[in-house]
Amino acid sequence: MNEQELFIRKLSGIDAFAAEKDGVLTETEIKQYFDGITLTDEQWELVYTYLQNKRIHIAGRKQNPQIILSPEEMSASSENTLFDEDEVLQMYLEDLKDIAPAAEGEERHLYIRISEGDQAAVRRLSELYLYTVIAIAKEYANGNLPVGDLIQEGNLGLLMGISMLADKPEDVSEGDYLVGSIREGIEMYILEQGDQSAVGKKAVEKADKLHKAICELEEELEHKVTKEEVSAFLNIPVEEIDEVIRLSGKDLGL
């Protein structure tokens, strides 16, 4: 397991660690929790933002404005008021209507500013992808897990992807990398909750589409194709093909 995967797993479990401390952590305890993992300044900010979104208090640290919107904010008006999933999602969507759409060339400019450490650019880019998070979360919602939780974990995956843009593979676009990070955040959460059905179903759907593309390419080229040829044909990294095969359990003959 590489450091990025270890960081994701540790971050996903930090709320359980905080629960042992009655929901209050010191910065020393947080650093000890991540002992052995080298984190960038952006990743440390991600940790603190994640804890804030989880309502975990960091002793002695001033709370920062939230970088991402939380579905829980939409239903927090009263502890005695109950909302169903559709109501929470609708309230969340209403709030997102105030977000201005991306101007021409804005996203590319944001990537440059983020590489220079501009936190305002991080906030703006995360806003532009919130609808994408919702769409992906709804793909995985199967009634067993609240869609609000899936959105929250997708938002976390989005922020993690933004913080690691500098390390993305050269053959993957920034947009595809962020979408992959959102999916990874949601899928890891589902697996940690012991519900593999949603991840497995989605992987099988991807595998079926991949198999169809392989058949089309083999018919066109008139020979058995390699992963690299399929990767170039579909404009996706080989690693993504490997992940689909692993999660779906299907042998696609590559």
Tokens of 184: 């990874």
- Check pLDDT > 90 for residue 9: no
- Distances in Å between the alpha carbon of 177 and those of 49, 54, 57, 81, 208? 21, 25, 31, 38, 22
| 15 and 124 fall within a common domain | yes
Q: Name residue, tokens 């709804």.
A: 138
DSSP assignment string, 139-175:
HH--SSS-HHHHHHHHHHHHHHHHHTGGGS-TTS-HH
| 99 and 116 fall within a common domain | yes
pLDDT at 113: 92
- Check pLDDT > 90 for residue 110: yes
pTM of the predicted model, to two decimals?
0.58
Tokens of 179: 């979408």
| 13 and 134 fall within a common domain | yes
| 31 and 110 fall within a common domain | yes
pLDDT, tens digit, 9 for 90 and up, residues 39-97: 777 778 778 777 776 678 888 776 555 555 444 444 343 333 334 556 656 766 776 77
| 179 and 207 fall within a common domain | no
pLDDT, tens digit, 9 for 90 and up, residues 188-222: 888 777 655 555 666 677 778 888 888 888 888 88
| 90 and 201 fall within a common domain | no
In terms of residue numbers, what domain contains 210? 196-254
Length of the chain: 254
pLDDT, tens digit, 9 for 90 and up, residues 78-94: 333 334 556 656 766 77
| 240 and 158 fall within a common domain | no
| 168 and 108 fall within a common domain | yes
| 182 and 236 fall within a common domain | no
Element housing 187 (H / E)? helix 174-192
Give the span between the Cα atoms of 20 and 184, in whole angstroms: 26
